[in-house]
A = this chain, B = another copy of it.
Amino acid sequence: MSSSTAAPAAKPPMRDALVEAAFRLFLRHGYERTTVDDIVALAGVGRRSFFRYFPTKEDVVFPDHERCLADMTAFLAAGGPEHDPVRRVCDAARLVLRMYAENPAFSVQRYRLTRQVPGLRAYELSVVWRYERALAEYLRGRFAGRPDGTLRADVIATAVVAAHNNALRSWLRSGGTGDPGAAVDHALGYVQETFGRPAGAPAAPVWAGPVRDGEPAGRSGPDDVVVLVSRRDAPLWRMVQELETALGRA
């Protein structure tokens, strides 16, 4: 994760107390049967204090997503043209992982609760959608004026979130033991490989073209072959582009 990310803001103790009381009651009595009155009674505060922090009962289940979304937006806005855009959105997704990994026990409890309560599932989908939009907006800016810019932005943003969530959910289902970082890195690596270019690899391939019966490499046989010759440090996507052109599949 980049060191340019802001440190998490200090959380007021009353807010923490409300979240803790809410989850204690959700686990004991279930989400639906717990009222805001029950929560404030256990936390020892008034109803107005609850609603100062959480507009609805659902919001207390996801207390850190607003902060995380703000961090993500700030992180993306701080990026310059020197940052590879696909890598940047992968790094932005790691902010979400960090939030979950900060408190594994709480994250696992919430995950289980969200599986059980359809209203919370819907809420979570809206949060996921907002993360996707934040990444897509950034990519749309970076890809502005390029062919298929909005298409690529939308597809890559959802792919990043899907990869992140695939690894995150495996970790949550396993009970939140161990470090989820390696699995998320692996998942995001798949997305970067698929869509991105390796950092600092600006060079283009040298040549790609069709040949018959493998002239350049001494191949013989009945089939047409294709040969790609490229600098090793060229980005993979450029090599693939050259291959596609040579194959007439572009």
Contacts and interface: CB of A to CB of B under 8 A. Distances in A.
A225 B214 contact: no
A190 B243 contact: no
Interface in A117-150: 121-122, 125-126, 129, 148, 150
A165 B186 CA distance: 27
A122 B126 CA distance: 7
Contacts of A155: 159, 162-163, 166, 190-191, 194
Interface stretch (A30-38, A42-50, A83-91, A226-234): A226-234
Q: How large is the interface on A (under 10, 10 to 19, 20 to 34, 35 or more residues)?
A: 35 or more
Contacts of A247: 232, 236
A240 interface: yes
A188 to B, nearest CB: 10
A239 B249 CA distance: 13
A199 to B, nearest CB: 12
The A contact surface, by secondary structure, is helix
A231 B243 CA distance: 12
Given A206-B225, A225-B206, A236-B243, A151 B190 contact: yes
A66 interface: no
Interface in A162-190: 162-163, 165-167, 186-187, 190
Contact of A231 (B167, B217, B223): B223
A104 interface: no
Nearest to A167: B151
A193 interface: yes
Contact of A227 (B193, B228, B249): B228
B232 A210 contact: yes
A236 B227 CA distance: 13
Interface in A46-65: none
A231 B224 contact: yes
Nearest to A119: B122
Interface in A201-217: 206-207, 210, 214, 216-217
A16 interface: no
For the complex of A and B, list the 5 residue pairs with the smallest distance between their C-beta atoms, beginning with the closest.
A158-B162, A228-B228, A224-B232, A158-B158, A217-B229
Given A122-B125, A226-B229, 8 more contacts: A125-B129, A194-B195, A207-B217, A216-B216, A225-B230, A225-B231, A228-B243, A232-B247
